[in-house]
Structure 1
Amino acid sequence: MPKAKPITLHPHEVRAALRGELGVVLRPVKPQPFFENGILKAWLEGVLRSGPTGHLLAIEIPRRAPHPPGAERWVRETFGIEPERYIQPEVGSFGGRFEEEVFYKVDDFNLPGMQWRPSTHMPRRFSRLTLTIEAVRVVRLEDVLYSVWGWLYYGEMDQTAIAETWDKLHKRHPVESNPWCWLYEVGVKGGR
């Protein structure tokens, strides 16, 4: 059995997953493909093909995606542990341990003394959600930002606010550059 891998979700995505409304996850492709002399250069050698005008004709990418179809990914999110729940290591041993009392920042807990830890530091045992990748596509951001991504997470928010939110989350791939993105269609399972 392959090792379970994580996927980090932004707070709006975690909220949507907890409501049972998360259907897609959108991430910029890294590195971005580029055009040279009107031809899409192989960023996934032999996987992307373009026509004479440089438009994408076919994409056969699922097996090359960071999260391929059929994969299960445990979700990482910003979390905290009650400070008194940390158990110091015994003299001569390495590292302490945590009791299993964990809080999630997205749940709006405002506990005195809470030290929030970044999602990238979340251990597997604290994950409460699992995503199943059902399908993968490569899309241009402008094709889905306002219709899918913005509506799903922000409802009736204006386009400027949606673009600003994207730019804040993905500083290296702003809306104005219209980056190529992985669009993952996902199913959500509850955890913990």
Structure 2
Amino acid sequence: MADRPILFSGPMIRALLDGRKTQTRRVIKPQPFASGYYDGEIEINVIPANDQYPKAFRFNARAVGGGAILEEVFEPRINAGDRLWARETWQGLSFGDYQPTKSSLCEVRYAATDPCADLDAEARGYPWRPSIFMPRWASRLTLIVTDVRVEQLQDISEADAIAEGAKQYSSSTKLSRAFNPDWKGVYCEGYAELWNAINGPGSWEANPWIACYSFRVIKQNIDQIEKAAA
């Protein structure tokens, strides 16, 4: 079991807090056979747990112009049983004068749920700090990983899109791509838009291989869980 930080955007933090999000998808880097020197479909198999890999996935494809079988192994950095502490946009304010501070003895404000989040820094009285700079002690959400799998992005099901915290597509949704009413469902369409919004135009259409992490959410700092249970 390992403890690791993980970044989330404001909408996804709110989905975690609301109990609407129990999955997250992250692009595998580098992508399998990134050189492109393969022919046809890529097959994927789970490697049984052993001393070398607690859980890993084997990609197989046939080499261009020949019968050789190419093989690459992806070992997820995150595994079932790991604990993830969520990083989000934040600020620490000193007690009394409410000035930004790096001390852990402070009041923590979170942009995802701060009613003044959309005001400019001058009106709000303090600037935001990017999620990448959130220290472990300031995190308010802990995710316990329950399953890891690998698939291509567009393999997502309607149920998985709901578990991702995606919103329904509706006639008022502004699409960055042509809407296909026969594709897979309104939540899948909503997730496709969410993915493009986070990862950039065309990122959904690229259909990368991703690692899908399922988890349960504990609305508590990772280091306070055992203390609260004692």
Bin the TM-score by the shorter chain: 0.7 to 0.9
In 2, Cα distance between the equivalents of 1:114 and 1:145? 41
Alpha-carbon deviation of 1:51? 6.3
Match of 1:189 in 2: 218
The range that moved more, 30-39 or 11-20, is: 30-39
Q: Given residue 116 of structure 1, which amino acid in structure 2 is its aligned partner?
A: W
1:4-43 Cα deviation digits (max 9, x unpaired)? 321112222211211122211111111111352327499x
The 8 Å contact of residues 33 and 41 in structure 1, kept in 2 or not, is answered as: no
Note if 1:169 corresponds to 2:181: no
In 1, Cα distance between the equivalents of 2:202 and 2:5? 22
1:104-127 Cα deviation digits (max 9, x unpaired)? 111033172121100100011111
Q: Given residue 5 of structure 2, which amino acid in structure 1 is its aligned partner?
A: P
In 2, Cα distance between the equivalents of 1:6 and 1:172? 26
Match of 2:88 in 1: 77
The 8 Å contact of residues 151 and 157 in structure 1, kept in 2 or not, is answered as: no
In 2, Cα distance between the equivalents of 1:6 and 1:151? 20
The 8 Å contact of residues 87 and 97 in structure 1, kept in 2 or not, is answered as: no
Residues matched between the structures, number: 175
Measured at CA, do residues 142 and 169 of structure 1 come closer, stay the same or move farther in structure 2, by a change above 3 Å? same
Q: TM-score, normalised by structure 1?
A: 0.74
For structure 2, the 5+ residue unaligned runs are 48-55, 63-71, 118-123, 177-189, 222-230
For structure 1, the 5+ residue unaligned runs are 53-58, 89-95
The range that moved more, 123-132 or 158-167, is: 158-167
In 2, Cα distance between the equivalents of 1:10 and 1:79? 11
Q: Given residue 187 of structure 1, which amino acid in structure 2 is its aligned partner?
A: R
Alpha-carbon deviation of 1:169? 1.2
Q: Tell me, what secondary structure is at the counterpart of 1:16?
A: helix
Measured at CA, do residues 145 and 41 of structure 1 come closer, stay the same or move farther in structure 2, by a change above 3 Å? closer
Q: Given residue 179 of structure 1, which amino acid in structure 2 is its aligned partner?
A: P
Match of 1:100 in 2: 106
Q: Structure 2 matches for 1:31-180, cutoff 5 A?
A: 31-34=30-33, 35-38=36-39, 40=42, 47-50=57-60, 64-82=75-93, 84-86=97-99, 97-110=103-116, 112-144=124-156, 148-149=160-161, 152-158=164-170, 160=175, 162=190, 163-171=192-200, 174-180=203-209
The percentage of aligned residue pairs carrying the same residue is 28
Where is the helix percentage greater, Structure 1 or Structure 2? 1
The 8 Å contact of residues 104 and 137 in structure 2, kept in 1 or not, is answered as: no
The 8 Å contact of residues 104 and 138 in structure 2, kept in 1 or not, is answered as: no
Q: Given residue 72 of structure 1, which amino acid in structure 2 is its aligned partner?
A: R
1:99-146 Cα deviation digits (max 9, x unpaired)? 320111110331721211001000111111101111101111111176
Match of 2:24 in 1: 25
In 2, Cα distance between the equivalents of 1:118 and 1:110? 16
Match of 1:5 in 2: 4
Match of 2:65 in 1: none
The 8 Å contact of residues 20 and 163 in structure 2, kept in 1 or not, is answered as: no
Measured at CA, do residues 126 and 37 of structure 1 come closer, stay the same or move farther in structure 2, by a change above 3 Å? closer
